[in-house]
Amino acid sequence: MSVDLRLRHDRSLRERAAEMFERGLGYGFVARGLGVPAEAVRDWQKTYRATGRDGLLKMGKKHARYDFETKVAAARAVVDDGMAKPEAMERFGIASATPLKQWCRLYRGDGAEALRPKPKGRPRGSGAKGAPRTREQELEERVRKLEAQVAYLKNR
């Protein structure tokens, strides 16, 4: 059986927390009842409010991807309109506060364009070499290396 070491609390514990949230219990009471730190349960409650029971139970499985429009709308609502982050998470369906905080920071610094997706990986052609060298160029390079080696050995 494979165990996901990234998750400190298993799915059954989050299921019990979701049931308690559905009954209207607060994060402090749920934390004491389950024996889990209150800060972790507070994050669970935020996720539960934003994405519902399914989002809470899927925590830690796969990172969500958000499109450019959602990022800009959420950051604009928090930064320009003064909306609270938990409210923005709920309204825009953002599962975690961490990406929202990052989007707000980028939006404050460089505006909406900072939230555009950036190309991943190495740029095309970065590994390609120029035109093939001539025999003369190869010999000149070899001479430079040998001269540097001789100079180094003389200074020892």
pLDDT at 61: 64
pLDDT band at 5 (very low <50, low <70, confident <90, very high): very low
Which whole number is the average pLDDT over 115-127? 80
Task: For 56-66, write each residue's pLDDT tens digit.
Answer: 777 766 677 88
pLDDT at 94: 84
42 close to 27: Cβ distance less than 8 angstroms: yes
What residue spans of the chain are helical by DSSP H? 11-22, 27-34, 38-57, 68-79, 85-92, 97-110, 135-154
**Which range is least confidently modeled, 15-24, 60-69, 130-139?**
60-69
Residue 66 in tokens: 């958000």
pLDDT at 104: 94
Task: For 55-113, write each residue's pLDDT tens digit.
Answer: 777 776 667 788 999 999 999 999 999 999 888 988 888 877 889 999 999 999 999 89
Residue 13 in tokens: 């514990």
pLDDT band at 137 (very low <50, low <70, confident <90, very high): very high
Task: Kindly state the percentage of the chain with pLDDT values over 90.
Answer: 33
